[in-house]
Amino acid sequence: MQPAREKEGTMKAYERLLKYVVIPTASDDDSETVPTTKVQFNLARVLVDELQKLGLKDARVDDKCYVYATLPATGGCEKAPAIGLISHMDTVSDFADHKVNPQIHENYDGRDLDLGDSGRKLEVKLFPHLADLKGRTLITSDGTTILGSDDKSGVAEIMTMLERIRKENIAHGKLCIGFTPDEEVGAGADHFDVKSFGADYAYTVDGGAEGGIEYENFNAASAKLDITGVNVHPGDAKDIMVNAVSVACEVQSMLPKEETPEMTEGYEGFFHLLKLSGDVANAHMEYIIRDHDRDKFEEKKQLIGRITDQMNEKYGEGTVSLKLKDQYYNMKEKIEPCLHLIENAKKAAKAAGTNPKVEAIRGGTDGARLSFMGLPCPNLGTGGYAFHGPFEHVTVEGMDIVVEMLLQIVKIYSDLS
């Protein structure tokens, strides 16, 4: 059973979400193509068709799978700032190996919830916010896949906002719409055409609970270490063998044990060992390095560099090779000169009937990189929770609030003309 539409002929955000999540769009971190997977074009083409039907005549998808569209300002609002709204179309690849089967749970009782026949359940002890969702309509997967709310909820909310603007004849300044591929593999802003996008300011709609407003994020880098050992017969190994896997374990032991994701919160940074593989002869390690503070971020990179040097001094030059790559930076420095984006988002949240929650992101968004590309771009919540796994969920009511919040932002900026 599905909740009824509020108005006949007007599609609600959750209905769009149900349509979008069954379209596979997982990106691929190991791919070197642009986009990393061709399946992302399937949703892109659907969105272009819907945008054109809503009257955004310039809606298009380029050869790299970026969707762009513009809604020109209404009469009298031509001098209002041009506002961009951006979400990403791709999902993570984990738990995305078969079609999503979304489940609707009306009048949720706020208790533990079985996810289909998967054997998994949403447990209040793991997700305490579930108690606050009592009485709402909850949307989940069947427990065997992700839901895809990250970030198809954001896409659905932007599309629903546009439909309401058109059908309710809401006055607005120029609106610039962008849907990106490959955000989940850190490449969502790689080929974003900021100049032709045409916005003065923008918001990504890619966060958690409704009312969430984020303009501080991690500084981020990746670190890849390749370890070359010396493999000889263990009977003759003394003073000759260099066990690459043992060296990898030694590297890990030299990093601060308290600076890991499972032991940090808030503004605390970390080293996160993503992958470790190998044998006596060769080993490979992959880390992500995160910190909100730029100086501490640089110190973390320097530490892993010093450890590399120490391993090479101990076991021989060339034993460990390190590739460090900065991924994105804390957008705070780019947003602070235009804090009206945050103040107006707070006003919009209150007008939409929810409490604004300004929080730091323990992660990153396309908006972080776009801010450094000249487009100040904080992040807004989508009403979703527990992203990147089979426990992902969102509520119909939360999505409705986000749509209303976006409309209020549009109205606020149209009044600045």
Q: Catalytic residues, which ones?
A: 90, 183
d(CA 158, CA 85): 7
Kindly give the pairing relationship between strand 212-216 and strand 113-114.
Answer: unpaired
413 Cβ contact partners less than 8 Å away, ≥ 6 residues apart = 80, 81, 83, 173, 344
Kindly give the pairing relationship between strand 175-180 and strand 357-360.
Answer: unpaired
- Cβ count near 257 (within 10 Å): 10
Nearest CA among 171, 184, 187, 162 for reference residue 85 = 162
Question: Could you give the angle at the alpha carbon of 218 between the alpha carbons of 387 and 140, nearest 5°?
Answer: 5
d(CA 405, CA 4): 21
CA atoms within 13 A on the CB side of 373: 20
d(CA 388, CA 381): 16
Is the Cβ–Cβ distance between 379 and 207 less than 8 Å? yes
d(CA 84, CA 66): 14
User: Sheet harboring 270-278: ordered strands across?
Assistant: 270-278, 282-291, 219-228, 320-328
Tokens of 242: 């260099």
Is the Cβ–Cβ distance between 180 and 128 less than 8 Å? no
DSSP string for residues in 381-416: E-SEES-SSTT-EEEHHHHHHHHHHHHHHHHHHHTT
